[in-house]
Amino acid sequence: MSTPDRRSLPLFAILGVVVVLAVVWVGVKFQRPSTPEAWAEPGVPAAVEGRTVTHAQGTTVVPLNPRRVIVFDLVALDILQALEVDVLGVAGDQFPDHLAKYRDAKYARMGTLFEPDYEAIHAVRPDLIITGGRSSAKYANLSRLAPTVDLPMSGKDYLATVVANTELLAGIFGKEAKARTLVEELRKSIATLKGTTAGRGRGLVVLVTGGRMSAYGPGSRFGVIHDDFGVPVAAEGLSASLHGEVIGAEFIREKNPDWLFVIDRDAAMGQQEGGARQVLGNELVHQTSAWQKGQVVYLDPGTSYLVGGGIQSVKHMRDQVAAAYAQAR
Amino acid sequence: MKRLLVAAAVLAVLAGISLLIGASHVSWAALFSPGPDDRALQVLVISRVPRLFAIMLAGTSLGVAGLLMQMIARNRFVEPTTAGTAESASLGLLAATLLAPGLPVLGKMLVATLFALAGTAMFLLVLRRIPMRSALIVPVVGLILGGIIDSATTFFAYRFDLLQSVNAWTTGDFSTVLRGRYELLWVTLGLTCGAYAAADRFTVAGMGETFTTNLGLNYPRIVALGLVIVSLVTAMIVVTVGMIPFLGLIVPNLVTRVLGDNARRSIPWVAVSGAGFVLLCDIVGRVVRHPYEIPGGTIAGVIGSVLFLYLLLRRDARVG
């Protein structure tokens, strides 16, 4: 290769300027509001006393009554809100409606669920960090900064996991009584729902994103619908993989479910709603009994997709499904 | 001509197989003995036949687009995914999704086409400014350019939590093709016919600017025509079914290796083999995890990368 031609310089110069401007524009537009007042307060010196908590990635000594809590998991945030525990910092900028208060700038931003802002975390000197789900992979790094507990989330034993996570967090913050009430309420309401779903036909869970569909079965991240809500399975043998199984409209018609539970992932991520309706509204799906009986349930994308496993979001999902069954009666 | 008919017959057999494979059960018997509800026929009309058409159209037009690009860039390793065209179209689609989410498909296609045109033109401009271009530098430049554009797409998609959607729409996948959802792809047939009509000009353009001008032809106009065809085809396919990697590279290479560089002779072959390649990939994707699917684009990536390596490593490689 010889040296670049002189004529090529303007082209590259213009390209470079365009790229730099684009990056600067995005940087300015999406700069997160910093909250110096939240950070300025010096941290409470680490408590000497603590209790040992066993969680998904080992055991951690957590100081008694942690006050400076950073949460890297929407499920944990959902549970903490239900337990009436306040937090110092949160991650990301996607919060479903029932967690809307965390959009407020008074909650310090600690990076995203996938990329923690380690410097910001270090600066606020937290008593406790909570990871789980999307941030579980960052547990090792975060646990070096402060005591960290990781909440497990898997589709297996869905309800049991929700209860275990609630009890784990309740134990840390001394909210056992509150947790008992919440869990009891949830169990009771789910048992009621289970009584109605069994004889009302088979269901299929479909997630729609980018114009493509995938199906989920029992034991998957949306398995709660079959496993705990008791909706009979329309398609046997669906594996429990994270992203489901790619399907087409033919598959839905062939399985002919009586109930379709739809998760519009793009809507969960802040895009315009209605993409899922467009994809599903086709001639083959129109022939299923779910469509003909008007038994297509568009689950609240925020709670079902973003916060699958939070005690409030499970309750919300239950209520939505129960309402659909009551309406169809 | 006779051999072409044989190839077309093989393609027809593949098409027949494709019509009988899918999540619902459709058999010839069910088609010819009408039952109480003609379910099999409905599936065929609503889902299988549109899918077959979409596959054939995509395969044909992407193959021919690859051939045109190879002639314009005068390099055998150039195609929409190795010259930034497909990446630019994806970026355009992302821009349309973010800035004008309510835009109809046609509008999205238009935006994607403009981006694809700009990206491909940029590739050709960069290419012109590289002195002493060796055969292998050209695709490397294209891949780098594509990588830069792709990184911009990734950046914005990450910023707006759209990575998974972008991934879904850029992977060639025919699972959601139904009657009423692919018809715009027929335009690519028109473009392919246009390319065939102008085949001789592209053959001449493939021999260089000076040569073309000496024959009294307008070289920039031929290049522009090729660019428009390639960009339109790429954008349409990216928007309706996603991208099929390697196709535009492998099919024209294998065909021109046998038939030489006469576009009028090779375009029909490229069309038939392109359609066959995509059809085969899609059938494999539907069979491997029946009744679920693996996107045809993923299968094409696997088969294509092996063939690509073969083309690169074989001893008598005629590049350039």
Contact yes or no for B129 and A4 at CB 8 A: yes
> Which two three-digit tokens encode residue A109?
């931003």
Q: For the beta carbon of residue A195, count every other beta carbon within 10 angstroms.
A: 10
Q: How far from B292 is each of A245, A282, B176, B288, CA to CA, in Å?
A: 6, 19, 12, 8
DSSP summary character for residue A33:
P
More confident residue, A210 or B275: B275
| Tokens describing residue A99 | 């967690």
For residue B125, the distance in angstroms to the closest alpha carbon of chain A comes to 9
pLDDT band of residue B34 (cuts 50, 70, 90) is: low
Least confident of A7-16, B274-283, B290-299: A7-16
| Closest residue in chain A to residue B166, using alpha carbons only | A210
pLDDT band (50, 70, 90) for residue B130: confident
- Report chain B residues whose CB lies below 8 A from the CB of A254: 23-25, 291
10 Å CB burial of residue B103 (0-12, 13-18, 19+) is middle
B292 contacts in chain A (CB < 8 Å)? 215, 245-247, 251
**Residues B271-280, mean pLDDT to the nearest whole number:** 95
Which region holds residue A3: left if phi is over 0, alpha if psi is between -120 and 50, else beta? beta
Q: Do A248 and B162 touch (CB under 8 A)?
A: no
**Nearest CB neighbour to B293, from listed A248, A269, A282:** A248
pLDDT along chain A (329 residues), means of 10: 53 77 72 45 52 90 92 96 95 90 93 93 94 92 94 84 94 95 96 93 92 90 93 84 85 94 88 82 92 94 90 95 90
Contact (CB<8Å) B169/A210: yes
Q: Between B111 and B137, whose confidence is greater? A: B111
Please give the share of chain B, as a percent, with pLDDT higher than 70: 95
When pLDDT is averaged across residues B211-234 and rounded to a whole number, the result is 93
Chain A residues in contact with B47 (beta carbon < 8 A): 248-250, 284
The rounded distance, in Å, linking the Cα atoms of A51 and A62 is 5
A273 touches chain B (CB under 8 A): no
- What is the spatial distance between Cα A55 and Cα A151, in angstroms, rounded to a whole number? 7
- Residues in B closer than 8 angstroms to A237, CB to CB, are none
In what order do the strands lie in the sheet containing A203-209? A245-247, A212-216, A203-209, A259-264, A296-298
pLDDT at B36 (0 to 100): 57
Is the CB of residue B55 less than 8 Å from the CB of residue B278? yes
CB atoms within 10 A of CB A284: 23
What mean pLDDT, rounded, does chain B reach? 89
Please judge whether A245 and B292 are an interchain contact, meaning their C-beta atoms are less than 8 angstroms apart: yes
Residue A2: which of B132, B291, B295 has the nearest Cβ?
B132
Separation CA A127–CA A71 (nearest Å): 11
- Within 10 Å of residue A159's Cβ, how many Cβ atoms? 17
Going from the C-alpha of B238 to that of each of A32, A63, A292, B115, B249, the distances in angstroms are 34, 54, 33, 12, 17
What are the chain A neighbours of B18 within 8 Å (beta carbons)?
none
Closest partner residue to B24 among A1, A253, A282, by Cβ? A253
The pLDDT of residue B39 is above 90: no
Per the listing, tokens 């195609």 go with B79
Q: Do B47 and A284 touch (CB under 8 A)?
A: yes
**Closest-CA residue to A260 (of A231, A228, A219):** A231
Q: Quick one: tokens of A184?
A: 């009891």
pLDDT at A2: 43
Alpha-carbon distance B39 to nearest alpha carbon in chain A (angstroms): 10
Task: State how far the alpha carbon of B149 is from the alpha carbons of B78, B88, B143, B298, in Å.
Answer: 16, 6, 10, 21
Peptide linkage before B291 cis (omega within 30 of 0):
yes
Q: Å from B189 to nearest chain A CA?
A: 24
Task: Please give the Cα distance from A17 to B91 (Å, whole number).
Answer: 19
Residue type, A151: L
pLDDT at site B315: 56
Question: How many angstroms separate the CA atoms of B308 and B15, rounded?
Answer: 25
Residue A249 Cα, gap to closest chain B Cα (Å): 7
Report how far residue A50's alpha carbon sits from residue A129's, in angstroms, rounded to the nearest whole number: 15
- Interface contacts (A, B; CB < 8 Å): 113
